[in-house]
């Protein structure tokens, strides 16, 4: 291990570094880090960065292209450009994507905010999850509060579970959307929560206490223990009060 925890690692142009412990890491241009790296402060990629080992940082910002081969752990992690993560991603306070993040494993975050695209092969878990962009997971999306605003694209999760789950389409765009025949909706096999409000959602099963189904919903089975409300003619195959 090289480096010093009070030093700054800076790669300008084209270069590579071994890894180690630093105060700050900045890649401006094209940089490669061959081993594990710990960064007590900020880790910024402006341009393109490859990390072959595990990365730990307080703040991690990817403003260009990032490629992470190992596990990544940060307090706040921001993807403004495009980034691929092969290992587990953990972001204690905030994980935000306004560009594209492609996760080959799972995500654990305090708060997750998607205004771009988030793809995850594994589970997404957070205290709160907000999306105004598009997300896809082959696993479970779980958070206390899940708030999804549908704009132009499709989102998908195998399972969604939490306390309050809200899916709404952004008003005023529906005419435009039908003009361009954009398929804007959320798809899930199972959605389970205490209070669930859905619009433009296709799901096989929705289970919860209080459920409100709105326009554009297509649900095969609904099970509820409190109240079921409908607005705007959703399709419901089967409903059961439990």
Partner 1 sequence: MDEQLISKKDLLALTAISYGQLYRWKRKGLIPEDWFIKKSSYTGQETFFPKGRVLARIAKIQNMKEDVSLDDMADVFSPKADTQAMDGDDMVARGIVSAAALDIYMKDTGSTVPLGFADMVHAYLFGKMLESGDLALPEARQMLDVLRTAEIKNGDAPIALMLARKLGVFVCVALSPPADICHDRDMRLIANVSMPAVIEELKCKLAEGGKS
Question: Does 106 interact with partner 1 (rule: CB under 8 A)?
Answer: no
- The C-alpha atoms of residue 150 and residue 42 are separated, in whole angstroms, by 32
In our burial notation (b when 16+ CB lie closer than 10 A, e otherwise), range 47-79 reads bbbbbbbbbbbbbbbbbbbbbbbbbbbbebbbb
Residue 27: CB minimum distance to partner 1, A = 33
Whose Cβ is closer to partner 1: residue 15's or residue 110's? 110
Question: Does 204 interact with partner 1 (rule: CB under 8 A)?
Answer: yes
Residue 92: CB minimum distance to partner 1, A = 12
Question: Does 209 interact with partner 1 (rule: CB under 8 A)?
Answer: yes
Residue 117: CB minimum distance to partner 1, A = 23
- The C-alpha atoms of residue 184 and residue 174 are separated, in whole angstroms, by 9
Question: Does 92 interact with partner 1 (rule: CB under 8 A)?
Answer: no
Residue in the structure block whose two tokens are 């905010």: 113
- The C-alpha atoms of residue 233 and residue 237 are separated, in whole angstroms, by 12
Residue 73: CB minimum distance to partner 1, A = 16
Residue 152: CB minimum distance to partner 1, A = 28
- The C-alpha atoms of residue 126 and residue 30 are separated, in whole angstroms, by 32
Question: Does 192 interact with partner 1 (rule: CB under 8 A)?
Answer: yes
Residue 161: CB minimum distance to partner 1, A = 4
Whose Cβ is closer to partner 1: residue 26's or residue 108's? 108
Residue 24 CA from chain centroid, whole number: 26
Whose Cβ is closer to partner 1: residue 171's or residue 242's? 242
Whose Cβ is closer to partner 1: residue 179's or residue 242's? 242
Beta bridge partners of 161: 142, 192
Binding mask 149-188 for partner 1 (x = CB under 8 A): ------------xxxx------------------------
Residue 125 in tokens:
């878990």
Residue 181 in tokens:
């025949």
Residue in the structure block whose two tokens are 């799972």: 106
Question: Does 105 interact with partner 1 (rule: CB under 8 A)?
Answer: no
Residues 10-69 that bind partner 1 (CB under 8 A): none
Contact 11, 33 (CB under 8 A): no
CB neighbour class for 17 (10 Å; exposed up to 12, middle 13-18, buried from 19) = buried
Q: Which stretch binds partner 1 (CB under 8 A): 29-37, 113-121, 129-137, 199-207?
A: 199-207
Residues that bind partner 1 in the complex, under the rule CB under 8 A: 108, 125, 142-144, 161-164, 189-190, 192-194, 204-205, 207-209, 220-221, 223, 242
């Amino acid at each position: 291990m090289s480096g010093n925890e009070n030093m700054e690692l800076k790669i300008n142009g084209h270069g590579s570094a071994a890894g180690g412990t630093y105060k700050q890491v900045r890649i401006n241009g094209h940089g490669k880090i061959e081993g594990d790296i710990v960064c007590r402060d900020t880790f910024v990629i402006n341009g393109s960065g490859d990390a072959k080992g595990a990365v730990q940082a307080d703040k991690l910002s990817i403003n260009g292209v990032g490629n992470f081969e190992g596990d990544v752990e940060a307090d706040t992690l921001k993807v403004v450009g495009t980034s691929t993560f092969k290992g587990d991603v953990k972001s204690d306070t905030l994980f935000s994507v306004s560009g594209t993040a492609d996760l080959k494993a799972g995500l654990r975050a305090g708060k997750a905010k998607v205004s771009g695209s988030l793809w995850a092969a594994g589970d997404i878990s957070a205290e709160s999850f907000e999306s105004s962009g598009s997300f896809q997971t082959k696993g479970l999306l779980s958070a206390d509060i899940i708030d999804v605003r549908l704009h132009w694209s499709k989102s998908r999760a195998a399972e969604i579970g939490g306390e309050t789950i809200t899916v709404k389409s952004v008003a005023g765009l529906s005419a435009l959307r039908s003009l361009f025949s954009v398929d804007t909706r959320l798809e899930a096999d199972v959605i389970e929560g205490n209070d669930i409000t859905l619009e433009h959602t296709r799901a096989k099963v929705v289970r919860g206490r209080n459920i409100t189904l709105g326009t554009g919903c297509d649900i095969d089975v609904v099970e509820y223990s409190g109240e079921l409300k409908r607005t705007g003619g959703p399709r419901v195959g089967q409903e059961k009060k439990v």
